[in-house]
């Protein structure tokens, strides 16, 4: 195709069409963000337990395609977490651990060793290993002796 003294190839035309489509999508996404945010807020406030998963996926997809701004996405995720707590689902992350201060150190709770008749997993170095009460224990393989806690 020749326009005046400028010749456009097929790839030039494809690039122009794709640029126009991309610009149109971005304009649509930016113009409609506020309405989309308001709709998500309303849906989250009205959501029941059974619809939370679907709503969470829709929110993630809208954020991925930039149909919501990053700030709006964060606010909606916070609202969604609050709604989960209101429905009794509790927080989705572990609570932070409070480290004891120097004066409040308490000795660790005594963990009882496993019984001698319990068996563990053999390793290639001649030891038997067992996980008991959240701790690792070892002894010489097939000895039937007392377990020693791994420190």
Domain that holds residue 57: 2-86
Q: Are residues 80 and 130 in the same domain?
A: no
Q: Are residues 33 and 78 in the same domain?
A: yes
What pLDDT does 90 receive?
Answer: 58
Question: What predicted TM-score, i.e. pTM, was given to this entire model?
Answer: 0.49
| Domain final position from 48, 71, 86 | 86
Q: Are the beta carbons of 71 and 63 closer than 8 angstroms?
A: no
Q: Are residues 69 and 121 in the same domain?
A: no
Q: Are residues 11 and 79 in the same domain?
A: yes
5-51 residue pLDDT tens = 778 889 999 999 999 999 999 899 889 999 999 999 999 999 988 88
DSSP labels, 76-87: HHHHHHHHHHHT
Q: How many domains does the chain have?
A: 2
| Domain final position from 66, 86, 106 | 86
Domain presence at residue 94: no
53-109 residue pLDDT tens = 899 999 999 999 888 999 999 999 999 989 988 887 755 455 555 555 555 555 556
């Amino acid at each position: 195709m020749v326009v005046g003294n400028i010749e456009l190839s097929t790839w030039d035309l494809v690039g122009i069409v794709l640029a126009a489509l991309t610009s149109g999508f971005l304009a649509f996404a930016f113009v409609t963000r506020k309405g989309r945010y308001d709709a998500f807020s309303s849906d989250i406030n009205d959501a029941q337990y059974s619809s939370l998963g679907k709503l969470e996926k829709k929110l993630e997809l809208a954020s991925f395609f930039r149909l919501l701004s990053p700030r709006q996405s964060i606010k909606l995720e916070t609202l969604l977490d609050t709604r989960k707590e209101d429905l009794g689902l509790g927080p989705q992350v572990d609570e932070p651990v409070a480290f004891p201060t120097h004066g409040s150190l308490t000795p660790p709770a005594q963990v009882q060793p496993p019984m001698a008749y319990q068996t563990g997993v053999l390793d290639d170095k001649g030891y038997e290993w067992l996980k008991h009460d959240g701790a690792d224990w070892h002894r010489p393989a097939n000895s039937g002796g007392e377990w020693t806690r791994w420190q």
